[in-house]
């Protein structure tokens, strides 16, 4: 049995960033760029109107005022997408709508609401400034401008920018494919009727919901019997990551470890000095990794959060894949004596410049509801001591589950 920190380092030593792939921009949220992104065009691509109004020469209105308005004939109307009518008479104005290319001869736009106009003539009451209400080519993004550097993680707000410069796809680091397997004859898929001594499979759903943002292709097998043939078949899968739930403890039907190693998986560790989650198993086979998570629901959720998710983040190219727990103070009544490092859901609050935490009151590793309403995981070193001797750190869910 190894310590928690050693287990984390062994996982990172045995996982690596996957290769690159070209992804459509709408499916690239959460992906990490494998190359710089440089704009191939100007945005805006041409001079265009920022308002619905009249395109004019500002010098026409130099002397105009409310008392002495300037009347100008209207030549035509241009809409966004129309070609600029540069052939219009110098003495005429043109109606332009927002986004319309402004004919080169004009240097300003006057909004409709600042004029008085009829079908064929408009009256102006105020001088205009050159460039008024005109967006120049490249005003937002210049051709050749570097917008993103390699290693940038794309978020929801980035996809529109990529579309604006005409990119249909980008080169990113590949997210891992994953197979999640719930082992046990007693498991029943939600929606089916429970029979005999069956229980509903919550673990594969918990794990899938936690890891989905960091994976590209996720396959879930909700009920795999504790049989060698079935286990061997799934453990020979070609997925980048295979995750089992249950079957890694010491029971007669806990077969995952032995069958995995007979299938060519090489053990990195089995059992970590933590609570919950002690039986966790980690193995490798060439570039694949296998996580054998415990079957107790809370144990599965905790080990998924502290071992599996950081590994997936690293494989997907994310730079901030490590957990970064921060020192915290545990309220005295919440101290739990434990011979192992305790990693338990809890409540986190800031109080007078300190991070104060307390554990969820549920004390069973089978109690998935221990997660409800909590702010993150609290890590308490193994201790038999009192308040002054307890070392505690906290990791908010917002950090653990951050894309």
279: domain CATH number is: 3.40.980.10
pLDDT number for residue 385: 57
Beta pairing partners, 173 = 20
Do residues 110 and 56 touch, judged by C-beta distance below 8 A? yes
Dig out the tokens for 287 from the structure.
Answer: 């570039």
End-to-end CA distance of the chain: 31
Alpha helices (runs of H) in 132-227, residue ranges in sequence order: 159-164, 203-211
Nearest of 1, 109, 105, 2 to residue 48 by alpha carbon: 109
Distance between alpha carbon 388 and the CA centroid of its chain, in Å?
Answer: 39
Residues 310 and 345 in one domain: no
Residues 250 and 190 in one domain: yes
Q: What is the CATH number of the domain that holds 380?
A: 2.40.340
Domain that holds residue 347: 326-400
Residues 94 and 78 in one domain: yes
Q: What share of residues in the chain are helix, strand, coil (percent, to 5)?
A: 20, 35, 45
pLDDT number for residue 86: 58
pLDDT number for residue 387: 55
pLDDT number for residue 196: 84
Contacts of 400 by beta carbon, 8 Å cutoff, 6+ apart: 305, 306, 309, 323, 376, 377
Q: What is the CATH number of the domain that holds 83?
A: 2.170.190.11
**Angstrom distance (rounded) from CA 261 to CA 401:** 31
Do residues 235 and 290 touch, judged by C-beta distance below 8 A? yes
Do residues 228 and 259 touch, judged by C-beta distance below 8 A? yes
Cα dihedral: 138, 140, 146, 150 (round 10): -150
Last residue of a domain, one of 265, 295, 315: 315
Do residues 259 and 267 touch, judged by C-beta distance below 8 A? no
Do residues 97 and 78 touch, judged by C-beta distance below 8 A? yes
Residues 308 and 377 in one domain: no
Residue 312, Cβ neighbours under 10 Å: how many? Answer: 27
Residue 56 lies in a domain: yes
pLDDT number for residue 388: 55
Residues 169 and 182 in one domain: no
Residues 181 and 300 in one domain: yes
Residues 109 and 223 in one domain: no
Do residues 110 and 92 touch, judged by C-beta distance below 8 A? no
Residue 276, Cβ neighbours under 10 Å: how many? Answer: 24
Distance between alpha carbon 231 and the CA centroid of its chain, in Å?
Answer: 32
What are φ and ψ of residue 366, in 5° steps?
Answer: -95, -5
Do residues 29 and 172 touch, judged by C-beta distance below 8 A? no
pLDDT number for residue 338: 80
**Angstrom distance (rounded) from CA 296 to CA 243:** 14
Residue 165 lies in a domain: yes
DSSP line for 22-75: EEEGGG-TT-BBSS-EE-SS-BSSS-EESSSEEEE-GGGGTT--SSS-EEEEEE
Residue 54 lies in a domain: yes
pTM value is 0.86
Residues 205 and 292 in one domain: yes
pLDDT number for residue 45: 95
Beta pairing partners, 378 = 344, 394
Residues 185 and 126 in one domain: no
**Angstrom distance (rounded) from CA 344 to CA 276:** 7
**Angstrom distance (rounded) from CA 242 to CA 16:** 15
Residues 203 and 289 in one domain: yes
Last residue of a domain, one of 263, 280, 315: 315
Residues 279 and 340 in one domain: no
Last residue of a domain, one of 286, 315, 344: 315
pLDDT number for residue 123: 98
> What's 82's DSSP letter?
S
pLDDT number for residue 228: 82
State how many domains the chain has. Answer: 4
Q: What is the CATH number of the domain that holds 159?
A: 3.90.105.10
Q: Write out residues in the chain with pLDDT < 50, as ranges.
A: none
Residues 278 and 180 in one domain: yes
The per-residue b/e assignment along 287-306, b for 16 or more CB within 10 angstroms, e otherwise, is: ebbbbbbbbbbbbbbbbbbb
pLDDT number for residue 271: 97
């Amino acid at each position: 049995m190894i310590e928690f920190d050693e287990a984390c380092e062994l996982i990172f030593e045995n996982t690596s960033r996957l290769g690159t792939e070209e992804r459509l921009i709408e499916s690239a949220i959460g992906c990490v760029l494998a190359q710089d992104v440089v704009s191939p065009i100007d945005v805006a691509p041409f001079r265009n109107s920022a308002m619905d109004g009249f395109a004019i020469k500002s010098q026409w209105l130099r002397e105009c005022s409310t008392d002495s308005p300037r009347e100008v004939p209207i030549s035509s109307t241009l809409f966004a997408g129309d070609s600029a009518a540069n052939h219009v008479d110098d003495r005429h104005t043109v109606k332009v709508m927002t986004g319309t290319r402004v004919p080169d001869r004009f240097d300003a736009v006057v909004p409709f609401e600042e004029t008085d106009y009829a079908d064929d003539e408009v009256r102006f009451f105020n001088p205009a400034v050159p460039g008024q209400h005109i967006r120049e080519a490249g005003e937002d993004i210049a051709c050749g401008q570097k917008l993103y550097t390699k290693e940038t993680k794309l978020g929801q707000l980035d996809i529109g920018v990529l579309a604006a410069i005409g990119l249909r796809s980008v080169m990113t680091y590949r997210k891992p494919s994953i197979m999640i397997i719930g082992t046990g004859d007693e498991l029943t898929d939600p929606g089916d009727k429970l029979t005999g001594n069956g229980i509903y499979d919550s673990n594969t759903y918990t794990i899938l919901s936690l890891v989905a943002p960091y994976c590209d292709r996720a396959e879930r097998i909700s009920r795999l019997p504790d049989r060698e043939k079935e286990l061997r078949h799934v453990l020979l899968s070609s997925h980048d990551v295979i995750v089992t739930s249950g079957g890694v403890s010491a029971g007669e039907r806990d077969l995952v470890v032995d069958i995995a190693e007979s299938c060519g998986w090489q053990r990195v560790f089995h059992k970590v000095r933590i609570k919950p989650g002690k039986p966790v198993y980690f193995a490798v086979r060439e570039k694949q990794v296998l996580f054998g998570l415990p079957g107790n629901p809370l144990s599965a959720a905790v080990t998924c959060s502290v071992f599996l998710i950081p590994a997936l983040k690293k494989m997907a190219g994310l730079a901030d894949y490590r957990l970064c727990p921060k020192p915290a103070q545990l309220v005295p009544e919440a101290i739990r004596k434990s011979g192992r490092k305790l990693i338990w859901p809890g409540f986190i609050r800031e109080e007078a410049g300190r991070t104060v935490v307390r554990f969820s009151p549920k004390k069973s590793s089978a109690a998935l509801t221990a997660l409800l309403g909590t702010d993150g995981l609290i890590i308490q070193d193994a201790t038999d001591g009192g308040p002054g001797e307890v070392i505690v750190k906290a990791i908010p869910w917002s950090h653990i589950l951050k894309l």
